Amino acid sequence: MLGIKQNDMEAHKGAGSLGPAPSIETALPGPLAREYIERDTRHCSPAYTRDYPLVVKRAAGSVVEDVDGNRFLDFAAGIAVCATGHCHPKVVAAIEEQARSLIHICGSDFYIPAMTDLMERLANLAPGDHKQHVYLSNSGTEAVEAAMKLARYHTKRKWLIGFHGAFHGRTMGSLALTCSKSTQQERFGPVVPMTAHVPYGDVNAIESQLFRYKMNPDEVAAIFVEALQGEGGYVVPDPEFLPRLRALCDKHHILLVCDEIQSGIGRTGKWFAFQHFGIEPDMILLAKGLASGMPLGAVVARGDVMNWAPGAHASTFGGNPVACAAALATLDLVESTYLDNTATLGERLKRSLGELAAKHKVIVNPRGLGLMCAVDVISKRTGKPDAKTRGKILQAAFQRGLILLPCGEVGIRFCPPLCMNEAMLDVGLKLFDELLTASV
Ligand code: PLP
């Protein structure tokens, strides 16, 4: 089976209940998958960017099965969402139990025990001595929207600053802070005004350019930053970037908002990526991994910052009890097991990507924290960034049963479920090694 030794297969058999992966039995896409793709294409919004034709039927742990019974090893976790792996039995049990007793009542109008438990839990997770308040949304972009509104409300200032390469979402507010790809902006403007961007990592540019030419610092409500930039290319900043940004915010009474939507909930081996850099933000934004795949987002803000009045902001579904129950189970699992696993496995992943980059000319710049790592693809011939070859590699990985996703201009990201084990990681990396040799 594609050069994978049987003892490698045995080593990760127990991790998912679907059987060993990868296991590719049909040409891809298989016959049933082709049918779905044909029907889907007739009606689906054409704006999605599906890199390869994977039609998923079910998944467990780090294994995904398609509609034709082919099994894939998942190095993408639904874009860093399935933190505890697919359908973790404890998450499923929490969802089932909650769904049997209460699916919805609206947390804006009434009190919900699961919501109270989760807000308390998130408030206690935020580092520092401040009391924290929590707003729950249904997605990452809604958490960003809420944070933008809260920053303006609290400070009574208008300007919001972000960074080149940032991804904060696609609704009109968050899109104003997103600065990742021009296609994400094209024809949608004007978006929310009074937002500005500087290169990621460049604190000087805020002072020497924005404060000089665009706005006074006392007009700035907040700076939004990803402590490890996600969609922009899994960019790990210099160690002094975030401390310097914190100092600048303190100097001018600007709120520092850390968008941990992709990097939070243990993904980098710590609860939040900013903890690698020794700072504390004024607001933390969460979504993706928070509820292991149930739609849920959160703004965790210092109590004195979240001072908006009743009616200022709310959501019908935000804090949905089923999503909250999934989040509570997720936090239990991350705390008891997966945080440590991510830190240890992340070291192994980064080391292996370093070895692969030394072996294969086509991949460079191995980087990352925990299980949020990436490499860039260059042309073997010219040494320049090569998006076409990146596409070829993603296709070849799919054909061999390995789910990978792109990031940035030419990045390939490695963000498996936090429950992945060493043997599965090694199987996937070996496949990656083989396909680089065979297909590039
Ligand atoms: N912020 C970051 C850092 C993200 O990575 C994303 C999504 O990729 C978002 C915000 C938007 O989240 P959502 O897609 O749930 O709206």
pLDDT band at 109 (very low <50, low <70, confident <90, very high): very high
Cα–Cα distance measured from residue 158 to residue 148, given in angstroms and rounded to the nearest whole number = 9
Q: What integer is the mean pLDDT of 292-301?
A: 98
**225 C-alpha to center of ligand 1: Å?**
12
**95 C-alpha to center of ligand 1: Å?**
23
Ligand 1 pocket test: pick from 259, 288, 372, 413 the residue with the most ligand atoms within 8 Å of its Cβ.
Answer: 288
- Considering the domain 6-60+68-88+343-439 in this protein, what is its CATH number? 3.90.1150.10
Residues with CB under 6 A from ligand 1: 139-141, 144, 167-169, 226, 230-231, 259, 261-262, 287
| 79 CA: nearest ligand 1 atom | 8
Which CATH fold topology does 105-319 show? Answer: Aspartate Aminotransferase; domain 2 (3.40.640)
76-85 tens-digit pLDDT: 999 999 999 9
Phi, psi of 359 (to 5 degrees): -85, -40
Predicted local confidence at residue 271, as pLDDT: 98
- What integer best gives the mean pLDDT of the chain? 95
Spatial CA neighbour of 282 closest among 150, 192, 159: 150
Closest Cα to atom 14 of ligand 1: 140
Domain boundaries, the chain: 6-60+68-88+343-439, 105-319
Ligand 1 pocket test: pick from 49, 141, 235 the residue with the most ligand atoms within 8 Å of its Cβ.
Answer: 141
Question: Distance from first CA to last CA of the chain, Å, rounded?
Answer: 21
With contact defined as beta carbons under 8 Å apart, do 140 and 297 qualify? yes
Task: Examine the pLDDT at 15 and tell me if it is beyond 60.
Answer: no
What is each CA distance from 225 to 76, 89, 178, 197, 219, in whole angstroms?
A: 23, 34, 10, 11, 18
Task: Respond yes or no on whether the N-terminal peptide bond of residue 29 is cis (omega within 30° of 0).
Answer: yes
Task: Examine the pLDDT at 74 and tell me if it is beyond 70.
Answer: yes
Task: Examine the pLDDT at 9 and tell me if it is beyond 50.
Answer: no
Task: Examine the pLDDT at 7 and tell me if it is beyond 60.
Answer: no
329-339 tens-digit pLDDT: 999 999 999 99
253-276 tens-digit pLDDT: 999 999 999 999 999 999 999 999
Q: What integer is the mean pLDDT of 363-380?
A: 98
**288 C-alpha to center of ligand 1: Å?**
7
Query: Tokens 């804006």 map to which residue?
Result: 108
Task: Examine the pLDDT at 17 and tell me if it is beyond 90.
Answer: no
385-433 tens-digit pLDDT: 999 999 999 999 999 999 999 999 999 999 999 999 999 999 999 999 9
pLDDT band at 440 (very low <50, low <70, confident <90, very high): confident
Q: What is the pTM of this model?
A: 0.96
Q: Are strands 405-407 and 132-137 parallel, antiparallel or unpaired?
A: unpaired
Task: Examine the pLDDT at 163 and tell me if it is beyond 70.
Answer: yes
| 226 CA: nearest ligand 1 atom | 3
**307 C-alpha to center of ligand 1: Å?**
25
